[in-house]
């Protein structure tokens, strides 16, 4: 007789053996047409582990599948809710600028969080209280431009720069930002003369035709300090920093299995609506089983290869493989892990529409409970439960 509510001893192992056997026999064969290149990139989607079950909305997409808008001075492409419908709160834009080129002066309906993937840039942002912030950012550094605050980005150095932009608006479109050149083009010339106090000849030289958007220019002749001194003559000093030097930040958590850098409103006050973590996982290691109680997770995979299983409940689970330049998504409250399946460090971003980063560790929860409670739910012995890692170890061997 079995205990009421519990399956018979050995039930789970028998089920696993049965489904694993099906994976290896004729049941899993696929003699029909197939995209072998795509199957090779995502073997866990082609032949899922026996623990996968039910229907889970797609949570993988790649920037490499999107249209890349190329202009003189750089390019851009995006992954929004149009490409990844499950991501209703966050959209991402990947952009490159060549040496000296600008992402023209503009503003957005959403907050803009960014990480510099390579190279350097000089950024400016003007705030409603009349302050103008100027700073240089390098690889691994962040910025946050609040919704409605006009800003610019100019590439520095021979190789220019590439960066990821994240917006707290799933249906955001980089094509629909409010551009300075677009506004001026659609304002009557006589109004521009009155507004700027300039004559008709000067107004006639303003850009015509397509908006500038991305365009080449000479690198700034001023040093950063000289630019800061110049803008201080016309604008108030900023009250907060709109950049964050994550490249030199001491990791929030670090072990032989990798590191986690958490950046949110507590250490980056300008970022009141977007919380983030930069995660590095060593080969063969995992980002432990966990979930987030305060928002869905939008991911950008910077380096390496890995796999993730998402468990949204209701007996459903799905496993997908990820590579650099891919986007992942975990629905609010869904359990998941990330495993490094490659032979180099795996580096990815976790982004949330939230003021603070929060996660709940399955290990920490189980170790915090009375042992008898865990034994009743898992059939583990007390000795086995004590082998589960305690403390806060988000990355495990």
Determine if residue 384 is labeled as part of a ligand binding site.
no
Choosing from 350, 356, 371, 384, the catalytic residue is 350
Residues 94, 96, 102, 103: what is their CA dihedral angle, to the nearest 10 degrees?
Answer: -10
Distance CA 268, CA 357 (A): 12
Determine if residue 57 is labeled as part of a ligand binding site.
no
Task: Identify the bridge partners of residue 282 per DSSP, sorted by sequence position.
Answer: none
Question: Within the chain, how many helices (H) and strands (E) appear?
Answer: 10, 24
Determine if residue 108 is labeled as part of a ligand binding site.
yes
Determine if residue 186 is labeled as part of a ligand binding site.
no
CA angle 227, 232, 233 (to 5 degrees): 105
Annotation marks residue 350 as catalytic? yes
| 3-state DSSP assignment of residue 345 | coil
DSSP 159-199: EEEEEEEEES-TT--GGG-EEHHHHHHTS-HHHHHHHHT--
Distance CA 287, CA 257 (A): 9
Beta strands in 225-304 (DSSP E): 243-244, 253-255, 258-263, 275-281, 286-291, 297-303
- Whether 392 and 357 have beta carbons less than 8 Å apart is answered as no
Residues 16, 17, 20, 25: what is their CA dihedral angle, to the nearest 10 degrees?
Answer: -150
N-to-C CA span, the chain: 39
Which among 363, 301, 310, 356 is positioned nearest to 333, based on CA atoms? 310
Distance CA 255, CA 105 (A): 42
Determine if residue 67 is labeled as part of a ligand binding site.
no
Determine if residue 356 is labeled as part of a ligand binding site.
no
Helix, strand, coil percentages in the chain from 3-state DSSP, rounded to 5: 20, 35, 45
Determine if residue 292 is labeled as part of a ligand binding site.
yes
Cα-flanking dihedrals φ and ψ of residue 241, to 5°?
Answer: -90, 135
Determine if residue 226 is labeled as part of a ligand binding site.
no
| 3-state DSSP assignment of residue 82 | coil
- Whether 137 and 121 have beta carbons less than 8 Å apart is answered as yes
19: part of which helix (H) or strand (E)? helix 11-24
DSSP 28-44: G---S---HHHHHH-HH
Where is the binding site for Mn(2+), in residues?
106, 108, 112, 151, 290, 292, 297, 336
Where is the binding site, in residues?
106, 108, 112, 151, 290, 292, 297, 336
Residue positions annotated with a catalytic role? 350
């Amino acid at each position: 007789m079995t205990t009421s509510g519990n399956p018979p001893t050995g039930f789970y192992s028998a089920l696993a053996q049965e489904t694993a056997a099906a994976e290896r026999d004729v049941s899993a064969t696929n003699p029909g047409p197939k995209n072998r290149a795509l199957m090779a990139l995502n073997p866990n989607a082609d032949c899922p582990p026996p623990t996968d079950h039910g229907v889970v909305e797609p949570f993988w997409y790649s920037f490499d599948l999107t249209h890349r808008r190329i202009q003189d001075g750089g390019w851009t492409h995006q992954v929004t809710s149009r490409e990844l419908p499950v991501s209703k709160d966050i959209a991402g834009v990947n952009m490159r600028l060549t040496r000296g080129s600008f992402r023209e002066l503009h503003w957005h309906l959403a907050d803009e969080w960014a990480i510099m993937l390579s190279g350097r840039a000089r950024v400016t942002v003007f705030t409603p209280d009349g302050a103008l912030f100027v700073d240089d950012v390098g690889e691994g550094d962040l910025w946050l431009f609040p919704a409605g605050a006009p800003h610019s980005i100019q590439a520095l150095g021979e190789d220019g720069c590439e960066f990821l932009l994240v917006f707290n608006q799933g249906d955001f479109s980089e094509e629909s930002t409010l551009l300075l050149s677009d506004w001026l083009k659609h304002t009557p010339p006589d109004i521009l003369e009155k507004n700027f106090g300039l004559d008709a000849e000067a107004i006639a030289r303003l850009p015509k035709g397509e908006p500038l958007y991305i365009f080449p220019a000479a690198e700034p002749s001023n040093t950063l300090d000289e630019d800061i001194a110049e803008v201080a003559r016309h604008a108030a000093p900023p009250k907060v920093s709109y950049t964050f030097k994550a490249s030199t930040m001491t990791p929030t958590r670090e072990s032989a299995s990798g590191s986690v850098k958490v950046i949110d409103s507590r250490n980056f006050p300008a970022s009141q609506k977007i919380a983030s973590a930069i995660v590095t996982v060593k080969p063969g290691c995992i980002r432990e089983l966990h979930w987030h109680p305060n928002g869905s997770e939008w991911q950008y995979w910077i380096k390496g290869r890995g796999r993730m299983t998402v468990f949204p409940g209701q007996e459903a689970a799905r496993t997908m493989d990820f590579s650099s330049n891919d986007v992942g998504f975990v629905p609010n409250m869904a359990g998941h892990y990330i495993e490094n399946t490659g032979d180099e460090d795996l580096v990815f971003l976790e982004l949330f529409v939230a003021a603070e980063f929060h996660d709940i560790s399955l290990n920490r929860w189980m170790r915090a409970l009375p042992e008898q409670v865990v034994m009743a739910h898992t059939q583990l012995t007390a000795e086995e439960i004590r082998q589960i890692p305690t403390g806060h170890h988000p990355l495990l061997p």
